[in-house]
Amino acid sequence: MLVQTPARPALLPGLELRSGRPLVMGVVNVTPDSFSDGGQFLAGKDALEQARRLIAEGADILDIGAESTRPYGGMQQVSAEEELARLTPVVPAAMTIGPPVSIDTMKARVAAWALDQGAAIVNDVWGLQRDADMAKVIADYGVPVIVMHNREKADAAIDIMQDVKDFLSRSLEIAARAGIARERVILDPGVGFGKTPDQSVTVIARLAEFRSFGQPLLVGLSRKRFIDSISPAPPDKRLGGSIAGNVLAALAGADIVRVHDVAETVQALRVTDAIRRAR
């Protein structure tokens, strides 16, 4: 059964949350070490070609990042200078080719630069709880922010749902103190980040509980390791599991899904919505 959500203001002009089908955010990783497609789009021209491809496939938002935040470890932390060097050939050009751009970064300096270039959303995988200046930057620019739950490492012994709820509550408090409008905050439970595969499955299965916050929800489960734990496959062979998870997330009330495989996800969500409506 589809969870019906109340009507909300548009996140951005022309970008309205749908009642039946989530917005699809396409991933553009300008990194050498992202878990799924690291190194494939490190060159600026390759990243822009990927952005155009995702737009043609139906992406509503592009999420561009230049530092791997792979949830299983092994990523190389980079300086703000390196992150900006990777983004400079991509972000300004991406503004001219299609839908709103989200900047995927943990650094306030990088976020501010991208917003100056025209980025419309900030995607912070540490939910305003890593860089002390991030909340102020977002408040000053008046843009939407995606705050994601994260942990330094997984702990199978904790109540993961309570941990996510407590973390997101703190993020909302930080946002409010900084002057970020409540309706500008999108919550992401952080599938795969600081969670065991079983905990990631739990978060997806109980996604509707996060609706109690009254905020838009984003789910990023594309190609994540929990799929491999259920049906072993390398990241680029996890399309079926990704689609299954995203369809169930949509039915549970996800407003946005962040994916690598845009065309297939858009088709699956359209068919899901058509069948639901035919009932």
Residue 10 located in a structural domain: no
Q: Does residue 9 lie in a domain region?
A: no
Question: What pLDDT does residue 162 have?
Answer: 98
Summarize pLDDT for 124-182 with one digit per residue, the tens.
999 999 999 999 999 999 999 999 999 999 999 999 999 999 999 999 999 999 999 99
In a domain, 35, yes or no: yes
Q: Which CATH number characterizes residue 176's domain? A: 3.20.20.20
Domain enclosing residue 95, as ranges: 23-278
Is residue 90 situated within a structural domain? yes
Give 3-state DSSP helix, strand, coil % of the chain, rounded to 5. Answer: 45, 15, 45
Please report whether residue 70 resides in a domain.
yes
Total tally of structural domains belonging to the chain: 1
61: three-class secondary structure by DSSP: strand
* Closest to 17 (Cα-Cα) out of 250, 275, 278, 268: 250
In this predicted structure, what is the pLDDT of residue 82? 93
CB neighbour list of residue 6: distance below 8 Å, 6 or more residues apart? none
Active site residue 258: yes
Distance CA 203, CA 195 (A): 9
Average pLDDT over residues 55-75: 81
Task: With respect to residue 5, please indicate whether it lies within any of the assigned structural domains.
Answer: no
Task: Name the active-site residue from 86, 224, 225, 238.
Answer: 224
Domain assignment present for 17? no
State pLDDT tens for residues 87-108: 999 999 999 988 999 999 999 9
pTM of the entire predicted model: 0.91
Residue 8 resides in a domain:
no
* Catalytic residue (one of 258, 270, 276, 277): 258
Cα–Cα distance for residue pair 32/52, rounded to 1 Å = 20
